Amino acid sequence: MIRKKIIMVLSLCLLTLGTWAQAKNTSVEVKDYREVDGKIILEMVVNGVIADFVLDLAGHNAILPEYVEKLKIDPNVPGDFRYDTFQYKKVSIEKSVKIGSISFGNSVFGNEVAAFVLKDEPYLRKLGVAGVVGSSLFNNVVLTIDSKRKKITMSNPYRPSYMKLDHRSNMDLIPASGIVCPVVLDGVTYSLLLDTWNNGMITLNAADFAKLNGKDGGNVKVSEGYASAEIAAKSKVVAACHFVKGDFSDITVAENGSLPRSVIGNEILKQGLLSIDYGKRKVYFQPFDLAEVKDEVIGADEVKVESGKLNPITREYFLEHVYDYRKSSEFVFKGDKPVVIDFWATWCGPCMRLIPELEKMAEKYKDQVIFLKVNADKEKELCGMFNIVALPTVFFIPVNGKPIVEMGATPEKYVEIIEKQLLKK
């Protein structure tokens, strides 16, 4: 009996240790989102320009035509799409283009990303967005959507620790990065596409709707593609709906004959937390109050900057103390001393050779110039905002002026810039 108790205690300790280790080895980024008419609106950075996009996990990356020039996209360079149209909904397109860089925070980013140029889509204009972003950009993270707090969490390589292991199910990825999950309606299992655009709970195509044995629910309205117009459709009410570990009763299921695949819509997000682990092909779903949600993120106040040193900083520190590009498109420096910022990476040989030289400069110009460094691998959004494509790139920022940008490791030239343009000697 004593031996069994010892084994149980050891097992619990190992489980706790494993959970702690997972949390410590998981990178986590949390971003706010807006919700308009049930749609998730993300603030993306495209070629250094901030723009709002709708998250459509059953869609593709797409741009409204008037934003092609605004987002600095070359209209004459086609995107490398495997498809010539949207796969899972009716959406009119003109052509494809290639986005130089696109990011959401520091965890979700892409270079040379293909996107469709949409034809007339008045509803997207009504939402005030530049276009649509699909799920393909999120394939390298575990994506968690919390509609109660209006937050998206991107973690890697594990789910957030508050998402419970016993509240998960298998899922499949299908062409164009669609996510297909098992959903049980009145005892029958359906393979449904997760569609964060669709405002309903369950919408079936004609073939799946014909198999449904629910009672008559009358007519409802469903949308097609991104159009604002809605069409009348039949519906049925099912007594029981099961998704992962969630059970729902008296669910109205709509029919949309134009759907290539039946979908589970964004109504599910109002019922609990949803996590998608693309790498492990798992979907998690649990009630909001099942576990306490704690975000493990580093804020601007946790970065300590000392005069005479080359200080590592984060995006949050940059926004708080250097320049907040979310509030002004024109560079407005917040500091009261000149600043030198080195964008670098560990794999960059010239960067590693430059760092000791910058450390010497930081000591030489102590109390006159603040020296900072940004890890380009960790701060993707900052690099995207300033179109940093080569490393090292160094910013020299005078107190009342715009950044002087230099590429390459040339310390002698940097000393001259500091002396003549930052300190005016």
Predicted pLDDT of residue 425? 74
Q: What are the C-alpha distances in Å from 88 to residues 85, 102, 197, 205, 258?
A: 9, 23, 11, 11, 9
- Kindly list the catalytic residues: 348, 351
Query: Residue 1 pLDDT more than 80?
Result: no
What digits encode the pLDDT tens for the residues 301-342? 578 899 999 999 998 899 989 998 877 778 999 999 999 999
**In the chain, what percentage of residues exceed pLDDT 70?**
92
Q: Give the separation between CA 315 and CA 346, rounded to whole angstroms.
A: 18
Looking at 3.60.20.10, 3.40.50.300, 3.40.50.720, 3.40.30.10, the CATH number of the domain 300-422 comes to: 3.40.30.10
Q: What are the C-alpha distances in Å from 122 to residues 38, 65, 103, 367?
A: 17, 12, 25, 55
What is the fold, at CATH topology level, of the domain defined by 28-152? Cathepsin D, subunit A; domain 1 (2.40.70)
Ranges of each domain in the chain: 28-152, 168-285, 300-422
- Those residues whose C-beta lies under 8 Å from the C-beta of residue 329, and which sit 6 or more positions away, are none
Query: Residue 283 pLDDT more than 60?
Result: yes
Predicted pLDDT of residue 217? 92
Tokens of 365: 């110009």
CATH superfamily, with its number, for domain 168-285: Acid Proteases (2.40.70.10)
Alpha-carbon dihedral angle through residues 57, 123, 79, 90, given to the nearest 10 degrees: 70
- Can 28-152 and 168-285 be said to share one CATH topology? yes
Give mean pLDDT, residues 104-114. 89
Q: Give the separation between CA 185 and CA 202, rounded to whole angstroms.
A: 10
Residue-averaged pLDDT of the chain: 90
- Per-residue confidence at 258, pLDDT binned at 50, 70, 90? confident
What digits encode the pLDDT tens for the residues 125-167? 999 999 999 999 999 999 999 999 999 999 989 999 999 999 9
Positive or negative torsion for Cα 316, 409, 377, 136: positive
Angle at 72 between CA 327 and CA 59, to 5 degrees: 90
Span between the terminal Cα atoms of the chain, in Å: 81
Give mean pLDDT, residues 351-362. 96
